[in-house]
Structure 1
Amino acid sequence: MKKITKLGVLVMVVAMVLSLAACSGGTTTSGDAKKYVVATDTTFKPFEYENEKGERVGIDIDLLAAIAEDQGFAYELKAVGFDAALGEVSTGQSDAMIAGMSITDERKKTFDFSDPYFDSGVVMAVSSSNDTIKAYADLKGLNVAVKTGTEGSTFAESIKDQYGFTTSSFPDSANMYEDVKAGNSAALFEDYPVVGDAIASGVPLKMVTEMEKGSSYGFAVKAGENAELLEMFNTGLANVKANGKYQEILDTYIKK
C-alpha cells in the first residue's frame, strides 16, 4: 500500500509539471515583458548629459521616454559614451542607441536607423577672446579640436586639406572645449545646438561662421535586428510630433 501511494504521488507531481509547462509554452506574462537596453552618450549637451541633481536628461533622453510611454515599451538606459555605444549595439550588448548619431551611408552598413528625429548643422567656434580667426582660411597651419564620431569631426576632416589645418579628436565635449580655452587648438567644429548650449551655459567660446548643413540624427539598432523596436520608435516619433510633445522637448533644451 505504501509503495502504491508513493507511485501515485510521483505520477501526480509529473502530471502537474507537464501541465504547467504546457500552459506556459509560447506565452509571456506582462511581468516578463521584454525590456530593451538602449545605449547613449554621456556628455553631448543638450542631447544627453547629467544635470546638477545627477539625473540623465536632454533632448534624446526625454524623447526616448516620451516615445516609450506612447508605445508602451520598457527600456534600460546605459550611458556609456558615444564610441562605446556603437560597440554595444554592433556586438548585441545593447538593443539600440540614441546619442545624437548622424545617419550616414557608412553607418547604414552596420545599423538600421529610425526616421530622422533632428536635423543638425555644424559651426566653427573659437575662444571668446580670439579676434583673429573669423573664417576657415584663418586656420592655415593651426590645429582644431573635434569630438570623435560627430558631424563636426566629419566636416572638419572634409575641409582640412583645403584650408591647411590639422585636427585633434576628443572623446567628449568638455575636453574639446578645454583644449580650445587653453590655446592648444585654435578652434573647434561642433553641432550648432551643442556649442550654442555650451556658450549659453557660460563656456567662453563664440561661433564665428554660419551653420553648415549637416546630417540628420537617428535612433539606431543593429542591422537586421530589433525591427519591432525600430517600428515602435517611428510610430511614437510621429505621434509625439503630432501631439506637440516633440516641440515641447526641443523648446526645453534649445533656447532661442
Structure 2
Amino acid sequence: MRWKAAAVTLAVLAVLGIGTASANYSTDPGAQAELRPGHSRLDTIQRRGEVQVCSTGDYRPFTYRDPVTGEWTGIDIDMARDLAERLDVRLTIVPTTWGRILQDLGRRCDLSVGGISVTLDRATQAFYSEPYLRDGKTPITRCENVERFQTLEQIDRSGVRVIVNPGGTNERFAEDNLRQATIVRHPDNNTIFTEIIAGNADLMITDATETRWQAEQHPELCAVHPDQPFTFSEKAYLLPRGDVVLQEWVDQWLHLARNDGTYDRIAKPWLG
C-alpha cells in the first residue's frame, strides 16, 4: 500500500505544479536560478564574478567588433565595462545578431546592449532599462541626392533602392512604410554604407544617431534632416523579462551614470 500512497502523492504534486524541477524549470542551471522565488540574475552575476553581455558588434557608434582583431568598441561597450566595474565583476561580450538578440537574452547573456531601440514588440518578450538616448528613423544617402529623399513619398517610388540590415527595426520600418520602392537586404551592417557609396543602393533609413556618425566617416554621404526624423524612438538596454531586481539595479546604475558625467565622458568621443 505504501507504493500506492507514494504514487498518489506524486500525482497531487504534479497537478499542483510542485513536482520535479523539470516540470517547471529549464534544463539550463542559470535559467533555473532565475525562476526561484526571490532570486535574481543579479545574484548569479555576483556569485560567478562575471556579467555576460550580448551585442551585435555592427552598429557604430554604439557597438563594433573588429573582424580582424575581435576587439569590441563603442559607446555601449564602454558603458558595459563601467557596469561590470561597478559590480566588481569581469565583463564578457557575447556576439549575437539582430535576428537572435531576444533568443540569446537570458540564455547566453545577462543583458543586451548596442543601440537597441525600444519597441512594443520586444517589450512583450523582455524588459528594458530606462532610456538613455532619444532617436528616430531618417534617411542617409549620397550628398547629391539629399533633396530627392526628403519625404517618405519621395522615397517610396518605383526604381528607388532602399538598403536595410535584416532582423532589426530598420527592416521593420521599411516593410511597414514602403510599397513601391525596392528593399535591398544586406546582411553585413558594417559594410552597408559602402553599398550606398558604390551605387548599389540609393539610401538607407536608419537611426538619426547612426546617420550623423556615418556621415562623419564618409564624406560622400549626408544625413537627411537628422534633427527631424520620421519617427520617435529611444535607446535602452535589454533585460530578461520578469527580473525586476536586475532591472532596478541597471536603472539605478544608468541613472547615476547619466548624471555624474560617466555617460557624457564615454559618448563624447563618438557623438561630439
**TM-score between both structures, scaled by the size of structure 2:** 0.72
Structure 1 pair 31/111, CA: closer, same or farther in 2 (3 Å)?
closer
Post-superposition offset of 1:122 = 1.7
Distance 1:195 1:150 in 2: 16
Distance 2:238 2:112 in 1: 5
Listed as ranges, the matches of 1:28-177 within 5 Å are 32-50=47-65, 55-89=71-105, 92-130=107-145, 133-135=148-150, 136-139=152-155, 140-141=157-158, 142-161=160-179, 164-177=180-193
Aligned pair count reads 223
Distance 1:126 1:31 in 2: 46
Residue by residue over 1:165-208, the C-alpha shift from the partner in whole angstroms, topping out at 9 and shown as x without a partner, is 23123333233223322323221111112122112112621123
Contact kept, 8 Å, 1:36 with 1:95, in 2: the verdict is yes
For the residue of structure 2 that corresponds to 1:133, the secondary structure is helix
Structure 1 pair 137/248, CA: closer, same or farther in 2 (3 Å)?
same
Partner of 2:241: 223
Partner of 2:18: none
Please say which structure displays the higher CA radius of gyration: 1
1:240 to 257, 260, 264: 257
AA at the equivalent of 2:73? V
Unpaired segments of 5 or more residues in structure 2? 1-42
Partner of 1:196: 212
Structure 1 pair 121/241, CA: closer, same or farther in 2 (3 Å)?
same
Structure 1 pair 176/203, CA: closer, same or farther in 2 (3 Å)?
farther
Post-superposition offset of 1:129 = 4.3
Contact kept, 8 Å, 2:46 with 2:87, in 1: the verdict is no
Post-superposition offset of 1:251 = 1.2
Partner of 2:194: 178
Post-superposition offset of 1:77 = 1.0
Contact kept, 8 Å, 1:150 with 1:190, in 2: the verdict is no
Distance 1:152 1:83 in 2: 12
Structure 1 window deviating more from structure 2 (212-221 vs 112-121): it is 212-221
Contact kept, 8 Å, 1:39 with 1:96, in 2: the verdict is yes
Distance 1:63 1:110 in 2: 23
Post-superposition offset of 1:230 = 2.4
Post-superposition offset of 1:49 = 1.1
For the residue of structure 1 that corresponds to 2:137, the secondary structure is strand
AA at the equivalent of 2:56? D
Structure 1 window deviating more from structure 2 (178-187 vs 45-54): it is 45-54
Distance 1:151 1:168 in 2: 15
Q: Give the % identical residues.
A: 21
AA at the equivalent of 1:67? L
Contact kept, 8 Å, 2:57 with 2:64, in 1: the verdict is yes
AA at the equivalent of 1:80? T
For the residue of structure 1 that corresponds to 2:246, the secondary structure is helix
Q: Greater relative contact order: 1 or 2 (C-alpha under 8 angstroms, separation 6 or more)?
A: 1
**TM-score between both structures, scaled by the size of structure 1:** 0.76
AA at the equivalent of 1:230? Q
